[in-house]
Structure 1
């Protein structure tokens, strides 16, 4: 459409969308429409470029961020000008930024189902994304977003959402889905900025716990099991559960809420800074200000360590990046692993509790059920020795002396001077962590 008025917007989107702006189309391409509900948010300072519309989005809860909606050109020689135009627009929009729409370009070769690739344009697009420090919001539901609608179609992913790291940190629960293309050759993208897919808080073993005073005692106190559990595997599972609960409570009392402590320390430092502008601080005030600065430095380092562990990025050295990078990676992994819907017996289920029930029932069916034994053996009546004394020791706590005793027992003298042994320990989630122990004869 070359002209869009309020009647067309109400007819297409409904009367609640009382604000809109548009970029007119040229024949069948190039048109952009941005519409919003003023009761939810406002879009101000709207600017028109050759291939995009940019505006400031103001929400009641989350402040301000910039939105750019694009419709990329099809001609190759115009795509370079399109990317340069976006770079200039970015310089005018500092802070959180989202750019979404039809780019008519792909980032990687896997985003097209044939080998007809314009690698020079792909390299220019990747260079733009890297230079502006953008990341792509993971798209659920589809691999490609466009089709030429032929019998043997050409498929590509030319529609996407790119965001700056600040936007991603402000909206960690955003969810991008590709929905039905209906009568179009494009798959519409639906972005929910608060999808509400917060998973249950699970136990995370923090590496810095090993350096805290009282950790060994906390583990010994938490590793306990009720006497009513007699099965070794049930006892082990119960010990892990009790240990996780005890360590979480111990960490909350020992460390506390790091973000809250940093905010409180910064508030007191700000008050002391303001007082220092008017007078000389007393000895006690100067000592408190200095101590709080050291505390903020230590807590910030601890916060960064926790964020790095949860992002599972092991190859970056200390000092290469701040906590924002690790939070960004962790958010990306969570979006990618999230399952928005499942199909069960012909029903599409999106409710989180129902999905959990179906997964639990499915895996319970795979594991089977416990059946009572119809027959048992009386070892005493048969005159066979009972090994109950050994089975009772399965619930005992492993000690370092006991582990080394087993290693030395099964390590023959004929081994080399430097022998590597792998000791595996099973965590609550069933993963294996390896520790390399060296022994010199």
Structure 2
């Protein structure tokens, strides 16, 4: 999936439309959302100039007195739009995406700079969200609002009005149950022509349900040219970065057999060769042994817990019907111990994955908690690097660049006066 959002500051110029078409073609965009068309009338011919071929559908919200205006163009065989809705500042599409027919809502947003008008738009979007809670959602475009002071530069910040707007915008995002996925490429999406002010006012916001369907989403800020806004690209790609790093689980240390197993395994691994090679191969072998040990000792924690609960309740029912034998009573005692041990191990595992103190206060099965786990995974992931001014995300090239940076840092540290 590839979605593009772009505030173009007017579509009247053929030169602008040609640049957008080149971008759509280069990035293989499947849906483009354009803000500030400044056109009161649009037709299929104009859309074809932007899209580049006839394989598309489109929907527009006209500008008012050459102000505003929204346009959506998409591959009609990929996104089957069944309905639409709109209000001041947004244009929403409802349909089924892809071969799996994922029911989703994609909303093109161009917000006013006026806070009162923003409130009206936010309230309208919240109402539409309430009508379509079961669908996956994506809001994109120019929100003319930031989520923190760090998203503005060169503009006086910290006033009571600005802090109130930030707070209300964040409340809107929370009430909509949306996630601001990681941004790559650049920090800001809008730059004043004289370069003295910058802001991140353009973005993609997606629902938790969206991330369950497309978990590998990232938004990339592309280079600006025809506008003072940068185009943003939302991609849901799966890259092969090679073997995943090995993680030590905290719950292992709660098992008294763990230290002895590690010591016995390490001493039982015999590798011939030079020092670093021996260390590498022994660690590799230990990793394999620990995986097997984890499967044998811990297994599927959720299944172990459910099995214990089922057996405990079976014994409870047996006691109600006629009593338990001494062996049954002892078995239930052991099962209760097993249940609480497994429950603590499972909690430890979830806590380590999320690193959230919220676990101490909330329900581990809630949508919010599991979204925290997924959020940490996305935040810790590296989708690419800026290399010589060009965004690079090919796994091999990114690894080479990281290796070069590590060696450069080590060499610089050997120079007196450089830490």
- Deviation of 1:214 after TM superposition, in Å, equals 5.4
From 96, 114, 119, the equivalent of 1:58 is 96
8 A contact 1:175–1:195 mirrored in 2 = no
Quote the residue 1:194 is aligned against: 237
Q: Distance in 2 between matches of 1:198 and 1:44?
A: 38
Quote the residue 1:15 is aligned against: 53
**Against the structure 1 CA distance between its residues 352 and 125, is the aligned structure 2 distance closer, same or farther, given a 3 Å change threshold?**
same
Q: Distance in 1 between matches of 2:131 and 2:344?
A: 33
**Against the structure 1 CA distance between its residues 104 and 298, is the aligned structure 2 distance closer, same or farther, given a 3 Å change threshold?**
farther
8 A contact 1:303–1:323 mirrored in 2 = no
Quote the residue 1:205 is aligned against: 248
Larger deviation: 197-206 or 173-182? 197-206
Q: Distance in 2 between matches of 1:27 and 1:128?
A: 29
* Structure 2 counterpart SS, 1:160: strand
The higher relative CO (CA closer than 8 Å, separation ≥ 6) is in 2
8 A contact 2:141–2:203 mirrored in 1 = yes
1:135 aligns with 2:179: yes
**Against the structure 1 CA distance between its residues 299 and 129, is the aligned structure 2 distance closer, same or farther, given a 3 Å change threshold?**
farther
Quote the residue 2:74 is aligned against: 36
* Structure 2 counterpart SS, 1:97: strand
Q: Distance in 2 between matches of 1:352 and 1:200?
A: 12
Q: Distance in 2 between matches of 1:149 and 1:22?
A: 28
8 A contact 1:72–1:104 mirrored in 2 = yes
Structure 2: which 5+ residue stretches go unaligned? 1-38, 311-335, 412-419
TM-score by length of 2: 0.69
Q: Distance in 1 between matches of 2:54 and 2:301?
A: 42
How big is the alpha-carbon RMSD for the aligned residues of Structure 1 and Structure 2?
A: 3.5
Quote the residue 2:4 is aligned against: none
Q: Distance in 2 between matches of 1:254 and 1:40?
A: 47
Q: Distance in 2 between matches of 1:234 and 1:367?
A: 22
8 A contact 2:216–2:236 mirrored in 1 = yes
Q: Distance in 1 between matches of 2:402 and 2:294?
A: 31
Q: Could you give the per-residue CA deviations for residues 273-327 of structure 1, whole angstroms, max 9, x where no partner exists?
A: xxxxxxxxxxxxxxxxxxxxx9999989866643431222246415355364444
**Against the structure 1 CA distance between its residues 307 and 55, is the aligned structure 2 distance closer, same or farther, given a 3 Å change threshold?**
farther
Q: Distance in 1 between matches of 2:133 and 2:64?
A: 31
Q: Could you give the per-residue CA deviations for residues 40-82 of structure 1, whole angstroms, max 9, x where no partner exists?
A: 2322221122221222241223622222221111233312211
From 76, 101, 115, the equivalent of 2:156 is 115
8 A contact 2:89–2:112 mirrored in 1 = yes
**Against the structure 1 CA distance between its residues 181 and 299, is the aligned structure 2 distance closer, same or farther, given a 3 Å change threshold?**
farther
Quote the residue 2:313 is aligned against: none
- Deviation of 1:223 after TM superposition, in Å, equals 1.6
- Deviation of 1:91 after TM superposition, in Å, equals 0.8
Structure 1: which 5+ residue stretches go unaligned? 270-293, 369-441
TM-score by length of 1: 0.66
Larger deviation: 61-70 or 102-111? 61-70
8 A contact 2:222–2:232 mirrored in 1 = yes
Q: Could you give the per-residue CA deviations for residues 192-246 of structure 1, whole angstroms, max 9, x where no partner exists?
A: 0225366632211223334558545542443244342564x66555443322221
Q: Size of the alignment, in residue pairs?
A: 337
8 A contact 2:239–2:395 mirrored in 1 = no
Q: Distance in 2 between matches of 1:349 and 1:77?
A: 41
From 121, 124, 134, the equivalent of 2:168 is 124
Larger deviation: 305-314 or 155-164? 305-314
**Against the structure 1 CA distance between its residues 62 and 302, is the aligned structure 2 distance closer, same or farther, given a 3 Å change threshold?**
farther
